[in-house]
Chains A and B, each alone.
Chain A
Amino acid sequence: MESTQLVVSVSDCIALVNQTLDAAYPALYVEGEVSSFKINHNNYVFFDLKDAEGTLNCFMTVYQLRVPLEDGMKVRVLAVPRLTKWGKFSLTVKHVAPVGEGSLRRAYELLKVKLTKEGLFDEDRKRPLPPNVETIGVISSTQAAGFADFCKIVAARWPLAHLQVAHVRVQGMGAADDIIRAIEYFNAHATPPEILALIRGGGSADDLAVFNDENLVRAIAASRVPIIVGVGHETDETLATLAADVGASTPSNAAELLAPDAHELLQRLGLTKKRLKDGLHAKLKERLQFVRHQRQSLHERMSAQLTQLSAQLRSYRQLLAQLHPNMALSRGYSLVRHNKKLLRDGRTLQPGDQLSIETSRAIINSEVLHVRSKDDQLG
């Protein structure tokens, strides 16, 4: 009888129990309060999950811990029940999230302090929005109301926008990883969008808890492509919003911030067009006036010179007139010619030579009677 009974080793027994547990509860969501929270060697996280009636040991790796935990915090874990090789029952936790407003708030504050110290929210890390964007990587759920608002406003304001959408879950377990993958996807592109927009409409604090996930906040801060985050309502503040290059208050606000108003731009361009046209006319007018002024001044300089020249000419003319032989004749001098040549000396003249004497009014032909040298007379 005994030989038909199943006998297994301790290890096999543990394995058997674990197989049974795996089949019955591949994953369990368990809610409770954290106690005895500790991190060993910076690698492993241990805590107890308890309620008024009982306590469960929990184990997870530091990498899986995406929100800060502390004793007293109410959390929901996604876990696999396990019998350890020491025969202890524990939950191997895959994911943990605070539940209830108090715990969410506390986790938020703890992580905010930690990441602020690391400088993730520093203003000098933030890049300005690129102007006149044409490619926008939108990370959102295409079913979300916030997404529809965002697209509608962008399309109405900015016709050049090309929205490349990464459809992701925006709440619940796995949402943070979806969003991180989408950020990485866009960043890995050879020509990534000019900006990423992480969009989600309003929701409960629990719904928005995804945006306080440490890994997601770090991925936002590390993105090569600038990120604008528009999550929830005006009053909601998430760590994702704080880590973004531009934190918008809502999806609609994000759309308004990143999409320029085409009508306004066209108006501005129109004004510049008018300014250039008027400016060109003014410049041409100015140039014309300059040319006119130059012509006028040239004209004035020319006439001044002409006046000066004609005065000079007049005085030359007067001088010349004084020098004309007629003037000498009118004063009583005569021109004496011999053989049609002006007689300047006369000492060689002989009696009987014919002379022509010109006065101012007559020409007298005469004959030499005798010639006496002035030198002789003076001598």
Chain B
Amino acid sequence: MSEVKTINLAKMSFNEVMQQFEAAVAEFDAADLDVEQALAAYEKANSLLKELEARLATTKSKVEVVLKASE
């Protein structure tokens, strides 16, 4: 089972997902001739990438006034 499936992406911040993605890319680059390792890293990077893209596509920025100084 690839490691990605055991991580709850929904609970992670964008940055955390990004860091996981960068780690998977580094893992892929380090795999060299080990195709099995490269394939696992590729699959992991791909799922994380989909999550990043989905978040950027579906989220909308919001503005919320949390503190109002007395004037």
Contact = CB atoms under 8 A, between A and B. Distances in A.
Interface of A: 130-132, 134, 142, 151, 154-155, 158-169, 178, 181-182, 185, 262, 265-266, 269, 272-273, 276, 279-280, 283-284, 286-287, 290
Scoring A154, A181, A279, A290 by chain B CB atoms within 10 A of each residue's CB, the highest score goes to: A279
Contacts of A155: 60-61, 63
B33 A167 contact: no
A164 B61 CA distance: 11
A165 B69 contact: no
A134 B49 CA distance: 18
A284 B64 CA distance: 50
Contacts of A169: 69, 71
B69 A167 contact: yes
Given A134-B14, A169-B71, A159 B59 contact: yes
A165 B46 contact: no
Given A166-B69, A167-B65, A280 B39 contact: yes
Scoring B14, B52, B67, B71 by chain A CB atoms within 10 A of each residue's CB, the highest score goes to: B67
Contact of B63 (A130, A163, A182, A265): A163
B42 A280 contact: yes
21 contacts: A131-B15, A132-B15, A155-B61, A155-B63, A159-B56, A159-B60, A160-B56, A163-B63, A163-B64, A165-B63, A166-B66, A166-B68, A167-B65, A167-B67, A167-B68, A266-B56, A269-B49, A269-B52, A279-B29, A279-B42, A283-B35
Contacts of B66: 164-166
Nearest to A189: B66
A160 B67 contact: no
A123 to B, nearest CB: 25
B10 to A, nearest CB: 14
A305 B28 CA distance: 40
Top 6 closest A-B pairs, CB basis?
A: A166-B67, A178-B69, A155-B61, A161-B61, A168-B69, A163-B63
Interface in B45-65: 45-46, 49, 52-53, 55-56, 59-65
- State the main secondary structure of chain A at its contact with B: helix
B33 A286 contact: yes
- What's the interface size class on B, roughly? 20 to 34
Nearest to A163: B63
Contacts of B60: 155, 159
B18 interface: yes
A279 B28 contact: yes
A104 B36 CA distance: 68
A219 B38 CA distance: 50
Given A134-B13, A284-B35, A165 B61 contact: no
Nearest to B35: A287
A67 B49 CA distance: 52
Contacts of A280: 28, 38-39, 42
Given A134-B13, A272-B49, A276-B45, A283 B38 contact: yes
B61 A163 contact: yes
Contacts of A181: 69
Contacts of A269: 49, 52-53
B31 interface: yes
B71 A158 contact: no
B12 to A, nearest CB: 11
